[in-house]
Chains A and B, each alone.
Chain A
Amino acid sequence: MSDVTTRLDVFKTYKLYVGGKFPRSESGRVYEVTDSKGQWLANAPLGTRKDTRDAVLAARAAVKGWSGTTAYNRGQVLYRVAEMLQGRREQFTAEVATAEGIGAKKAAALVDQAIDRWVWYAGWTDKVAQIAGGSNPVAGPFFNLSVPEPTGVIGVVAPQTGYGYSFLGLISVIAPAIATGNTVVVAAATDAPLPALSLGEVLATSDLPGGVVNIISGRTADIAPTLASHQDVNGLDLTGAIAADGPGAAAELEASAADTLKRVIRPVEEPSALDWTNAPTTDRLLSFLETKTVWHPMGI
């Protein structure tokens, strides 16, 4: 009888998050995810164009319910996600540390900030209409009101670089889009998809309706062009698009998005210089909103 018992870790099979479910990739394929030193961490599903199209369908199906719920309710659902994130703090800290090659203390600080940022956006759901809309004093006997409304389905290319990109950056691009009632299909960072795939597990166990957030891991060059050209995607966040030429490059994707006149967030000129710990502004919140103005005559 040995007094040293060794125990093998139970590995997790990472899966995509689509329509509130965890499908394997239609490709049946995976790719190796390594830490910053090149050590194998896990096999992530190699999401395909078909997976992406399925995710867009799920996101479209979720628009009506999610945008139709009250802003108050959306706020509570988002806050519930923060509660669940808090409970998984240690897991995300470990994933961020290995993904970005930083110490546990720094990683924990990034995760804490990500949770706080999610809470910040949760609080915006029932306030954004008050800062982005209002009554217009037209010169005539009319009641005239402008209200912001969600754009619809947003394709998000998650940040692939910049300090804190793998989780804080990811949350910084997802939360504002859904806080305003949009639904999203997220192309996770190719080299660091594990925090994104774990986020899917958190979202599934929160009260967020299936399809509001859909997460696909794989090659950006496969997923992003599908989102950019898809007829049923209304907005495109290119924050994590590759700057170089070729499919998946920002300019190429923006040109493709022009065919359906998608609203586009362009990447900054130097994405690697981004520091995701910087305080967010309302830009991302307002980028995927439309302003609807309603007129009615006044009289007796």
Chain B
Amino acid sequence: MAKNKNIAESVSANAGARKSGLFEYAPAPESPAAAGDIATSYGHFIGGEFVDSSGSEALKTVNPATEQVLAEFAHGTDEDVDRAVTAARKAFADWSALPGSERAKYLFRIARIIQERSRELAVLESIDNGKPIRETRDVDLPLVAAHFFYYAGWADKLDYAGFGTAPKPLGVAGQVIPWNFPLLMLAWKIAPALATGNTVVLKPAETTPLTALRFAEICRQAGLPKGVVNIVTGDGRTGAALTAHPDVNKVAFTGSTPVGRAIAKQLAGSRKKLSLELGGKAANIVFDDAPIDQAVEGIVNGIFFNQGHVCCAGSRLLVQESIQDELLDALKRRMATLRVGDPLDKNTDIGAINSAAQLARITALTDAGEAEGAERWSPACELPGSGFWFKPTLFTGVSQAHRIAQEEIFGPVLSVLTFRTPTEAVEKANNTPYGLSAGIWTEKGSRILWMANQLKAGVVWANTFNKFDPTSPFGGYKESGYGREGGRHGLEAYLDV
């Protein structure tokens, strides 16, 4: 206890110092130039070439930290999608016939080039997405490379993956990914698809297309056969054209539950295989015997990592009633030290909200939280004048019926509920249509295992949160979608089994 108190005192002393301007962190900006040249406009990457769209409509991608336009990119038309699917179909015969050991080498090459160019990619991702450079550099890019390494090794070992001998690829995979982890989601989709012998058409999100287009260059550097990877940019209309294309054999989607539902409906009656990674409303459950400081770090990581733009974010804090005050005091002290601002500053903890539309959604839902009677708290912090920003926010006095306890906010907003018994914690945790992830904080091992067993969630983090690894299957229960990505399980989505 004495130790905790000392830490608490030093934290609050530090917070005080910040206010007075003493011992303030010096800015540590990453150079935007490290992102390499950003063209003023981009077409698609089809059949190994950068090509113009058949249509004239262009979309703009902005830096969410400055609202400056970074580049124009093509809105993929039905015809563009058709060209890309045709290129992928053409490439499929040779690519799927290639010995697995050769496919593996292409994937190893890609993994290596990603490592070589990781600083460039991290900076570009940070500029296009708004997430802190600390995260793109230390989390996203290492994981992106790791995924390609991991699935590279599967390419010549598929007979041993547990799906029968000589499992077959499906054909052309149409993949639609979200804006919260643009490169990581690309890696999750493309690496297993190529390892299993499929060819792909990938549509990145309309607010974050730049790193996917940069990845196309990497495919060229790796000498990947033309048409094996195709990137078509655009918004939801382009995505719908891709998932509806009759010559696509497999659809993989990561994004919101409503869109996932619409895709499942669209594909009903077709023979296309479908995997969905959808929304979540994870409970992060803290028991009275949890190590408070570690739990606070886990709560902060769980909801403020990537501005809360994480489908598995620990957005509902379930705290045992007996330690509520102590935990919330510690959490507020910790939140007061979070640094919100320039994503390219290496000291930044919380970057920009990805888009004006997302900021509006977060604002609307938090307003609803106040209107429904929950109590709102944010640390004092100055937000930059331009760009899209949202203060790290805590809601207490939240009831299960509140919208902020039921709906995915996808922002740095934590709703706090309480419980008395483990059974009550399980009931509250499972009381959403989602079932993607959950967190448990307690020193008691048997309680962790019992809780993990009861929770309806695809990933359960105990005494940790938001950990990812290519060997570890990830995916949801209930309306958080179906199928798993990562690990041996992740191969199944791209095999005819």
Contact = CB atoms under 8 A, between A and B. Distances in A.
Nearest to B489: A291
Contacts of A139: 146, 469, 471
A185 interface: no
Contact of A136 (B257, B261, B469): B469
B460 A295 contact: yes
B460 A292 contact: yes
B361 to A, nearest CB: 21
Interface string A175-203: 00000000000000000000000000000
B469 A144 contact: yes
B452 A140 contact: no
A21 B315 CA distance: 43
B477 A290 contact: yes
Contact of A140 (B269, B467, B497): B467
A254 interface: yes
A137 B486 CA distance: 12
A255 B268 contact: yes
A261 B467 contact: no
Interface in A249-269: 250-252, 254-255, 257-261, 263, 266, 269
Interface residues of B, number: 40
Contacts, number: 99
Interface residues of A, number: 33
B451 to A, nearest CB: 10
Contact of B475 (A252, A259, A291): A291
Specify the main secondary structure of chain B where it touches its partner: loop
Contacts of B276: 261
A140 B469 contact: yes
Contacts of B448: 296
B458 A290 contact: yes
B469 A292 contact: no
Contact of B479 (A140, A250, A261, A294): A261
Contacts of A263: 482
Contacts of B460: 292-295
A146 interface: yes
B268 A258 contact: yes
Interface string B265-295: 1001101000010100000000000000000
Contact of A293 (B260, B269, B472): B472
A261 B478 contact: yes
Contact of A297 (B463, B484, B489): B463
B457 interface: yes
A142 interface: yes
Given A283-B497, A293-B459, 11 more contacts: A138-B471, A142-B464, A146-B487, A251-B269, A252-B269, A261-B479, A292-B452, A293-B474, A295-B464, A296-B462, A296-B463
23 contacts: A136-B471, A136-B472, A136-B473, A136-B487, A139-B146, A234-B478, A252-B268, A260-B479, A261-B479, A261-B481, A291-B473, A291-B484, A292-B452, A292-B457, A292-B458, A292-B459, A293-B458, A294-B452, A294-B461, A294-B462, A295-B462, A295-B467, A297-B464
Q: Which 8 A-B pairs have the closest CB atoms?
A: A251-B269, A258-B264, A254-B268, A138-B469, A255-B268, A258-B265, A296-B462, A136-B471
Interface of B: 146, 162, 164, 257, 260-262, 264-265, 268-269, 271, 276, 278, 448, 452, 457-464, 467, 469, 471-475, 477-479, 481-482, 484, 487, 489, 497
